[in-house]
Amino acid sequence: MPDRNAKAKILVTRRTFPEAAERLREASDATIWDDEGDSPDHAALVDAARDIDGLYAHITNQVDAEVMDAARNLKVITEFGVGYDNIDTAAATERGIAVANTPGILSESTADEAFALLMALARRVHDLPQIVTSGQWGDFDPLAYLATDIHHKTLGIVGMGNIGSEVARRAQGFDMHVLYHNRNRREEEFGAEYVASLHELLERSDFVSLHNPLTPETEGLMGAEQFKQMKPTAFLINTTRGPVVDQEALYDALKSGEIAGAALDVVVPEPLPADHPLLTLDNCLVMPHVASATNDTRLKMAMMCVDNVLAGVAGKWPPFCVNRSAIEGRSRLEGKA
Ligand code: DGY
């Protein structure tokens, strides 16, 4: 007979904020993988998941059918992030397990970072400081250290969801002309112009910023053909997922001058080895997957995950469930909203 008074078991696969840990520990029997080193590898995750009711996962965890089958009581998986491509949502849906994420809350921080990367590339904030620190700063020279204007240039946004819209809003403040390409045409927001083809967006843009989720359709979306369609003076910014860009093709395009530069918050693999060819290029700036990494936003994301997982283990729908309509009636939850 199950013990009705036993607290639900929750596994959190990385350390978290004290406020989040406290709420989890008050309401559940929570195990927090609070090692500062690596998150559990796949075998350790399968093992640690065996008797859990709720899983609070991160981008580094491949939450696949094997994990779900090991976790016979699993009712809910929450992802710490908006992208949940590391979770096999179809497998979760088949098993009646709710999947949830943290939408909306990180859109502005991610847009801030995308814009910071755009500005760093355009105004050479990533490479000119080395001229100073290496003692090569010579006399004033009107033709040296030239960069690219941002104002009145064209920004092409690929994927006009919450984050893309926030990037468009920021671009307005710089008098940029904004184009967007999206699965669906949206209400014209922030003066952005819809373009039906990616090809047209790439040909016309001075900056291309990627904001579409990683799906089988978007994997490798930016490859050799797409870089050829971009202007040789154009820059690529990627804050979505590494596999959306074909990195070998990007390396060739950057090296040959087919495009002017790239800033990548996300790459393949993560972490990127320090001897990776992309890191040898002056016109490529790589950040360690930190678009949402501000104190405020990360804390709010953690609290949203706590809300999701505690609701799920209590037999309710998590507030930010992504597969509710697909599993309604077949869930390990009792369907009590
Ligand atoms: C997100 O929210 O998807 C971030 O990239 C963290 O994974």
Residue 289 annotated in active site: yes
For position 34, what pLDDT does the model report? 73
The closest alpha carbon to 313, from 1, 11, 2, 3, belongs to 11
Which residues share a beta bridge with 315? none
What atom in ligand 1 is closest to the CA of residue 289? 5
Which residue, among 156, 244, 152, has the nearest Cα to 195 in the 3D structure?
A: 156
Query: How many Å apart are CA 191 and CA 172, to the nearest integer?
Result: 8
Q: Which residues pair with 263 in a beta bridge?
A: 237, 285
- Is residue 58 part of the annotated active site? The answer reads no
- First-last CA distance in the chain: 26
Q: Note the pLDDT of residue 38.
A: 78
Name the residue at shortest CA distance from atom 3 of ligand 1: 83
pTM score, two decimals? 0.93
Asked if residue 285 lies in contact with residue 121, where contact means CB atoms within 8 angstroms, the answer is yes
Q: Residues in the chain with pLDDT < 50?
A: 335-337
Q: Which residues line the pocket of ligand 1, CB cutoff 6 A? A: 59, 81-83, 106, 291-292
Nearest-CA residue for ligand 1 atom 2 is 81
The CATH number assigned to the domain with range 9-104+295-333 reads 3.40.50.720
Locate all alpha helices (DSSP H) within the chain, ordered by sequence. Answer: 18-27, 42-48, 65-70, 89-94, 107-122, 128-133, 162-172, 198-204, 224-229, 247-256, 295-313, 324-327
Q: Which residues contact 34 (CB under 8 A, 6 or more apart)?
A: 14, 15, 16
The C-alpha atoms of residue 112 and residue 209 are separated, in whole angstroms, by 12
Q: Residue 42's pLDDT is what?
A: 96
3-state SS, residue 192? coil
Same CATH fold assignment for domains 9-104+295-333 and 107-286: yes
CA 239, 278, 57, 68 torsion-angle sign: positive
Q: What is the pLDDT of residue 75?
A: 96
- Burial code (b: 16+ CB inside 10 Å, e: under 16) for 106-125 equals bbbbbbbbbbbbbbbbbebe
Angle at the Cα of 244 (from 92 to 179), degrees rounded to 5?
115
Structure confidence at residue 327 (pLDDT)? 82
How far is it, in rounded angstroms, from Cα 109 to Cα 217? 26
Residue pair 222/248 in contact by the 8 Å Cβ criterion: no
**CA-to-CA distance for 82 and 101, rounded, in angstroms?**
5
CB burial of 295-320 (b: ≥16 within 10 Å; e: otherwise) equals eebbbbbbbbbbbbbbbbbbbbbbeb
CA–CA dist 192, 151 (Å, integer): 15
Q: Is 277 left (phi over 0), alpha (psi -120 to 50) or beta?
A: alpha
Q: Whose C-alpha lies nearest to ligand 1, atom 4?
A: 81
Q: What is the pLDDT of residues 260-311, one digit of tens each?
A: 999 999 999 999 999 999 999 999 999 999 999 999 999 999 999 999 999 9
Q: What pLDDT is stored for residue 336 in this prediction?
A: 42
Give the domain 107-286 fold.
Answer: Rossmann fold (3.40.50)
Active site residue 270: yes
Q: What is the CA(83)–ligand 1 centre distance, in A?
A: 5
pLDDT at res. 337: 41
State the closest ligand 1 atom to the C-alpha of 239, by its place in the atom list counted from 1.
5
In this predicted structure, what is the pLDDT of residue 1? 52
CA of 239 to the centre of ligand 1 (A): 9
Going from N- to C-terminal start, the domains of the chain cover 9-104+295-333, 107-286
